C-alpha cells in the first residue's frame, strides 16, 4: 500500500477526478488548500493589490492505494501535463506506508 498525494490549481479539479477514475483509484479524499510561490520582495512591493492574499486556490487529493495502480496514475498525469498550455502542472508524489490498520 502507498500514499499518493496529488496537488493542482483548483481549475483542474474535474480533470483530477477523471484521472483518478481512469487510474481505477476509487477511494480518495480531497481538501482545498492555498498554493504559494515565493516572489522577490520587489514584485510584492510593486503589487497594486498588496493587501490581497498571496495564495492561489489549489486542491489536494490523497489516497491510500495499491502499488499496482500508481504507474497508471503517473502515466495519465504525465500525459495531462504534456498537453498543458499553462505553467501550472499537476504534481504528484508517492510515499510508502509502513503500517496501517
Condensed to tens digits (0 to 9), the pLDDT of residues 58-101 reads: 999 999 998 899 999 999 999 999 999 888 999 999 999 898 88
Q: Please tell me the pTM assigned to this model.
A: 0.79
pLDDT the model gives residue 54:
62
pLDDT the model gives residue 49:
47
Question: Architecture of 2-35+56-96 per CATH?
Answer: 2-Layer Sandwich (3.30)
CA dihedral 97→22→80→12, nearest 10 degrees, is -80
Extract the C-alpha cell encoding 54: 498571496
Residue with cell 481549475: 11
Please say if the pLDDT value at position 13 is more than 50. yes
Q: In the chain, what percentage of residues exceed pLDDT 70?
A: 81
Split at pLDDT 50, 70, 90, the class of 40 is low
Amino acid at each position: 500500500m502507498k500514499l499518493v498525494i496529488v496537488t493542482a490549481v483548483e481549475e483542474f479539479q474535474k480533470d483530477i477526478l477523471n484521472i483518478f477514475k481512469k487510474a481505477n483509484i476509487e477511494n480518495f479524499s480531497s481538501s482545498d488548500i492555498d498554493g504559494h510561490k515565493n516572489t522577490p520582495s520587489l514584485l510584492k512591493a510593486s503589487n497594486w493589490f498588496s493587501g490581497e492574499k498571496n495564495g492561489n486556490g489549489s486542491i489536494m487529493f490523497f489516497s491510500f492505494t495499491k502499488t499496482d495502480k500508481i504507474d497508471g496514475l503517473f502515466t495519465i498525469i504525465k500525459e495531462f501535463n504534456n498537453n498543458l498550455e499553462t505553467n501550472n502542472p499537476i504534481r504528484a508524489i508517492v510515499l510508502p506506508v509502513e503500517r496501517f490498520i
